[in-house]
Amino acid sequence: MVVDVRNVAVKYKAGDFRNIGLKEFLTQKITGKYNARDFWAVNDVSFQLEKGDFLGIIGTNGAGKTTLLKAISGVIKPASGIVETYGQISALLALGTGFDEDMTVRENIYLRGAFLGYTEKFMNEKYTEIIEFSELQEFEHYMLRQLSSGMKSRMAFSIASLIQPDILILDEVLAVGDGAFRQKSEAKMMEIIRNGTTTLLVSHSISQVRKLCNKVLWLDHGRQMNFGSTKTVCDAYEEFLNQKRRD
């Protein structure tokens, strides 16, 4: 077993609490207007994946798909339940973000590599490969804020796809960039997947899930509706969507 998720529940906070100060917090508490409340973004989800499995995670907006991926990649801790993963995880979540705009392309590549757990030796060896794959040779010493968002995601993809992970986590991305780069990145991604990685993909495209996945997890409002073989779960989900449309 490579991924073992047992009765996982993730609590999340909703409401306008992010940009308040102590002053607002206290006045809101006193007047009873403080509206941050906990809710279960993921509630009692269980599934297991073997080596080489390709899991599709489907569900409407706000079903808890991305939150579940974050819990599996270890970014957030589940409130209860157990997530066990075996091997190196590579998560491609919201690729082009989290960079430092006031640093050069080269510095950002090194920093991101360090965040992803690569060693200095590895980065020195692979740097040329990254810059060539992302087609940013001329921009090496540019400040990041001078780059377009497409260029940033090309760069992020090239760093993240360097290694052959045991577990690959994809949030709506199989390919990035435009035209030629899109093809190139999709080919690279498929190469990683074919080499025996266990993949988890969040997708809104049922046809894509049917084409790629051998197992499917269907979430709705954080709850696990179904988990099983692609055909069974996708058929049930489409039936559910049709039902919803008719209502």
Partner 1 sequence: MSKEKNNSIQSFAQKKFLLKQLIRRDFKSRYKRTALGVLWSMFSPLCFFAAQAIVFTKLLGRGEHYTAYLIIGNIIFHYFSDATTNEMFALQANGGIISKIKVDKKIFLFSRAVSCLIHFLLTAVVMFAVVAFDHVTFHWNFLLLIFPLSCMFFMNMGIGYILSALFVFFKDTQYLYSIFTRILVYFSAIFYYTDRFPENLQKLFYCNPVYCYIDYFRSIIIENTVPSLFVHILCAVFPIIFMLIGNLVYKLNDSKFAYYF
Q: For binding to partner 1 (CB under 8 A), which residues are involved? A: 12-13, 18-23, 25, 70, 73-77, 79, 89, 91, 93-94, 97-100, 102-103, 107, 110-111, 114-121, 123
| Cα gap 29→33, rounded to integer Å | 6
CB atoms within 10 A of CB 246: 6
- Please state the closest distance from residue 205 (CB atom) to partner 1, in A: 23
- C-beta closer to partner 1: residue 70 or 215: 70
Under 8 Å between Cβ of 193 and 224: no
- C-beta closer to partner 1: residue 66 or 226: 66
- Please state the closest distance from residue 113 (CB atom) to partner 1, in A: 8
Q: How many helices (H) and strands (E) does the chain have?
A: 8, 9
Q: Are strands 223-229 and 198-202 parallel, antiparallel or unpaired?
A: unpaired
- C-beta closer to partner 1: residue 77 or 204: 77
| Cα gap 13→79, rounded to integer Å | 12
Torsional sign, CA 199, 193, 136, 104? positive
- C-beta closer to partner 1: residue 113 or 215: 113
- Please state the closest distance from residue 184 (CB atom) to partner 1, in A: 23
- Please state the closest distance from residue 62 (CB atom) to partner 1, in A: 16
* Nearest CA among 192, 246, 227 for reference residue 58: 227
Residue type, 1: M
- C-beta closer to partner 1: residue 75 or 82: 75
- Angle (CA) 157-175-221 rounded to 5° is 100
- C-beta closer to partner 1: residue 169 or 212: 169
C-alpha distances (whole Å) from 178 to each of 5, 12, 231 are 35, 35, 31
- Please state the closest distance from residue 212 (CB atom) to partner 1, in A: 23
- Please state the closest distance from residue 12 (CB atom) to partner 1, in A: 7
